[in-house]
């Protein structure tokens, strides 16, 4: 299917080349023009719902609300849809700047792909028999090459030992991963005990069972998943991801890093947004929120420009790392404020590059290093160069891509000699509307704070992948949160049921 949208210039993202240096702004299908659509007759009125944020949680909530006939306003700080998930179009090649991969295991996400005609419009990150079809492992004591099968077997063995804290691959601790902290099969105390372990604690428990190569692979795979350091990431976080993926490392690749939407995530985000607009959604982009104030059941949203919008209900999808920038009145609960102050640990660096020649088969790991993992990610447009995708964990204080972009090339060269044409990335840590990647938390956080983060704040529904019940930090989790919040709003502001008897429409339960 040919792209149905024109890629327009966003203020987000960067390109680095030796000739032009660092240049801000990338083209994407996600840019919305005109950036504002609010009917004059609606100005100053009380909306049934206001949705803050046009990532997948906000888009899902807004679409579901207007589809049910609710008068809804969407406010977004950026110039585009997608939030921490968006795709850039650079010289005809799609680069996924944030959340990327899709899977049949992600049921809500795949349902949206089906709804908008994208279920078969997928491509693979891996290319069988592509150039440089091997795995490079560089642990500081030399660089060695393995077959992908050999590297996979080493990684799988290390991971199985790491995750098997209960002798049953996590099933005894996390039998119902959507209810890790409150299910009928496992006592809260048992889960809390596991939550006290960091990934470093767990590695210390089992490192004597691992070879040096297996240990290096594990030390780099954990921050690759969680975007932080093994010292910071809680072990229960990894256990939950294991459970959600079916308790088997053999399915890791096909769930986490294999299938992508061919035209990019911004295509799906646009289709959800356009559907909502067709159904009557009003919106305003480049509209950061400053304050959220509730008085007598009505919530007022004050923007940084001083505008005021009022609603019966608000769906707030702002990430945990950005919540401290928002003034809440009444204040957030002391426990939620405590959680927000502790914050999350995912400060990932994700870097793309276009390199000359065929490196589609290349995969590798460096430990320690500025980057941890690299993937050959198919040919770029024209078929003469390769798209490379690489990840690091928390690189704060080590490698700042905005201050030292030339070091990105040096870090990539460590995996394999390559002639780099350009580097493409979004620096999520410096982004004022993200300040981090998708949330992963430190030891002890989930059992103490997750339920509080999921709670509503008066007539403000808090909906973000950062505290999803299931696939927390994934697109799937964002869609879950948006759908649940929209359903709560609908049940409270009133739903006009089909074929009612006279006088039997549901009434508004309360403002």
Alpha carbon distance 198, 228 (integer Å): 12
CATH code, 153:
3.90.660.10
Based on the fold, state whether residues 324 and 440 are members of the same structural domain: yes
In 3D space, the residue among 327, 281, 283, 284 whose CA is nearest the CA of residue 302 turns out to be 327
- Calculate Rg over the CA atoms of the chain: 23
Give the per-residue pLDDT at 504.
62
Based on the fold, state whether residues 251 and 274 are members of the same structural domain: no
Based on the fold, state whether residues 170 and 209 are members of the same structural domain: yes
Local confidence band at 18 (pLDDT 50, 70, 90 cut-offs): very high
Mean pLDDT (the chain, rounded): 94
The DSSP code for 421 is E
Residue 472 lies inside a defined structural domain of this protein: yes
Alpha carbon distance 469, 461 (integer Å): 15
Based on the fold, state whether residues 226 and 165 are members of the same structural domain: yes
Based on the fold, state whether residues 223 and 332 are members of the same structural domain: no
Based on the fold, state whether residues 226 and 288 are members of the same structural domain: no
Residue 322 lies inside a defined structural domain of this protein: yes
* Structural domain containing residue 178: 146-256
Q: Which two tokens stand for residue 137?
A: 């492992």
Residue 424 lies inside a defined structural domain of this protein: no
Q: Which two tokens stand for residue 162?
A: 């790491």
pLDDT of 505 > 60? The answer is no
Confirm if 10 and 27 have CB atoms less than 8 A apart: yes
DSSP codes, 184-234: TTS-HHHHHHHHT-BHHHHHHHHGGGS-HHHHHHHHHHHHHHHSS-TTTSB
Say how many domains are in the chain.
Answer: 2
For residue range 409-459, list pLDDT tens digits in order: 999 999 999 999 999 999 999 999 999 999 999 999 999 999 999 999 999
Collapse the DSSP code of 331 into the 3-class scheme (helix H, G, I; strand E, B; otherwise coil) and give the result. Answer: coil
Residue 310 lies inside a defined structural domain of this protein: yes
Based on the fold, state whether residues 249 and 273 are members of the same structural domain: no
Give the per-residue pLDDT at 41.
72
Based on the fold, state whether residues 334 and 440 are members of the same structural domain: yes
For residue range 114-135, list pLDDT tens digits in order: 999 999 999 999 898 899 999 9
Question: Which region, left, alpha or beta, applies to residue 151 given φ > 0 means left and ψ of -120 to 50 means alpha?
Answer: alpha
Confirm if 359 and 376 have CB atoms less than 8 A apart: yes
Q: Which residue has the higher pLDDT, 2 or 47?
A: 47
Alpha carbon distance 410, 424 (integer Å): 15
Give the per-residue pLDDT at 503.
67
**pTM for this predicted structure:** 0.96
For residue range 249-287, list pLDDT tens digits in order: 988 989 999 999 999 999 999 999 999 999 999 999 999
Residue 417 lies inside a defined structural domain of this protein: no
Distances (CA, A) of 162 to 88, 150, 194, 239, 470: 36, 19, 13, 10, 22
For residue range 348-384, list pLDDT tens digits in order: 999 999 999 999 999 999 988 888 999 999 999 999 9
Residue 506 lies inside a defined structural domain of this protein: no
Please work out, in degrees rounded to the nearest 5, the angle formed at the alpha carbon of residue 105 by the alpha carbons of 104 and 109: 70
Collapse the DSSP code of 315 into the 3-class scheme (helix H, G, I; strand E, B; otherwise coil) and give the result. Answer: strand
Residue 239 lies inside a defined structural domain of this protein: yes
Distances (CA, A) of 76 to 35, 96, 371: 10, 20, 32
Local confidence band at 245 (pLDDT 50, 70, 90 cut-offs): very high
CATH code, 276:
3.50.50.60
- Quickly tell me which residue has 């100005």 as its tokens: 43
| Packing angle, helices 445-454 and 334-342, rounded to 10 | 120
Give the per-residue pLDDT at 511.
42
Give the per-residue pLDDT at 74.
98
Give the per-residue pLDDT at 510.
43
Based on the fold, state whether residues 221 and 270 are members of the same structural domain: no
For residue range 126-178, list pLDDT tens digits in order: 898 899 999 999 987 788 999 999 999 999 999 999 999 999 999 999 999 99
**Which of 256, 291, 314 lies at the terminal end of a domain, its last residue?**
256
Distance of CA 368 to the CA centre of its chain: 25
What residues are paired with 300 via a beta bridge? 293, 310
> What share of the chain has pLDDT > 90, as a percent?
87
Residue 380 lies inside a defined structural domain of this protein: no
Based on the fold, state whether residues 212 and 155 are members of the same structural domain: yes
Based on the fold, state whether residues 305 and 230 are members of the same structural domain: no
Based on the fold, state whether residues 212 and 269 are members of the same structural domain: no
Distances (CA, A) of 127 to 4, 36, 155, 173: 26, 42, 20, 36
pLDDT of 2 > 50? The answer is no
DSSP codes, 36-100: EE--GGGTTSEEEEEEE--SHHHHHHHHHHHHTT--EEEE-SSSBS-TT--EEEETTEEEE-S--
pLDDT of 399 > 50? The answer is yes
């Amino acid at each position: 299917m040919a792209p149905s949208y024109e890629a327009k210039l966003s203020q987000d993202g960067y390109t680095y080349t030796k000739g032009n240096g660092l240049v801000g702004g990338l083209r994407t299908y996600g840019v919305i023009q005109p950036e504002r659509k609010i009917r004059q007759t609606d100005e100053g009125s009380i909306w049934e719902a206001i949705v803050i944020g046009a990532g997948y949680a906000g888009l899902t909530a807004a679409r579901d609300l207007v589809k049910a006939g609710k008068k809804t306003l969407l406010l977004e700080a950026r110039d585009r849809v997608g939030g921490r998930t968006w795709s850039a179009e650079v010289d005809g090649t799609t680069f996924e700047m944030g959340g990327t991969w899709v899977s049949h295991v992600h049921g809500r996400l795949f349902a949206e792909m089906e709804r908008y005609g994208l279920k078969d419009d997928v491509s693979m990150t891996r290319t069988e028999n592509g150039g440089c079809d091997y795995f490079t492992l560089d642990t500081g004591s030399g660089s060695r090459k393995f077959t992908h099968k050999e590297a996979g077997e080493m990684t799988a063995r290390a991971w199985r030992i790491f995750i098997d804290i209960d002798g049953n691959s996590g099933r005894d601790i996390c039998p119902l991963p959507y209810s890790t902290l409150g299910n009928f099969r496992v006592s809260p105390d048992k889960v809390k005990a596991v939550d006290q372990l960091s990934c470093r604690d767990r590695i210390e428990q089992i490192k004597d069972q691992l070879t040096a190569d297996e240990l290096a692979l594990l030390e780099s795979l954990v921050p690759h998943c969680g975007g932080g350091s093994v010292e910071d990431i809680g072990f229960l976080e990894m256990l939950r991801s294991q459970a959600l993926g079916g308790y088997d490392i053999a399915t890791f690749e096909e769930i986490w890093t294999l299938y992508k939407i061919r035209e990019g995530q911004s295509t799906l985000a646009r289709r959800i947004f356009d559907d909502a607009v067709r159904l009557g959604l009003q919106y305003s982009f480049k509209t950061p929120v400053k304050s959220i104030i509730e008085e007598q059941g009505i919530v007022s949203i004050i923007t940084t420009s001083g505008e005021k919008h009022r609603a019966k209900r608000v769906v707030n999808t702002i990430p945990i790392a950005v919540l401290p920038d928002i003034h809440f009145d009444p204040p957030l609960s002391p426990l939620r404020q405590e959680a927000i102050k502790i914050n999350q640990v995912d400060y990932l660096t994700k870097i793309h590059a276009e390199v000359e020649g065929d490196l589609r088969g290349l995969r590798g790991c460096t430990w320690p290093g500025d980057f941890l993992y690299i993937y050959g990610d198919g040919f770029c447009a024209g078929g003469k160069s390769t798209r490379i995708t690489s990840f690091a964990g928390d690189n704060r204080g080590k490698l700042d891509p905005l201050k030292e972009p030339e070091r990105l090339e040096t870090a990539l060269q460590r995996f394999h000699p390559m002639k780099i044409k350009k580097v493409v990335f979004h620096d999520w840590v410096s982004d004022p509307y993200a300040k981090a990647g998708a949330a992963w938390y430190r030891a002890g956080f989930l059992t103490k704070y997750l339920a509080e983060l999921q709670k509503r704040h008066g007539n403000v529904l808090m909906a973000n992948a950062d505290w999803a019940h299931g696939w927390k930090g994934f697109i799937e989790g964002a869609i879950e949160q948006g759908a649940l919040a929209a359903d709560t709003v609908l049940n409270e502001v009133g739903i006009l049921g089909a074929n009612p008897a006279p006088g039997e429409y549901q009434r508004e339960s309360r403002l």
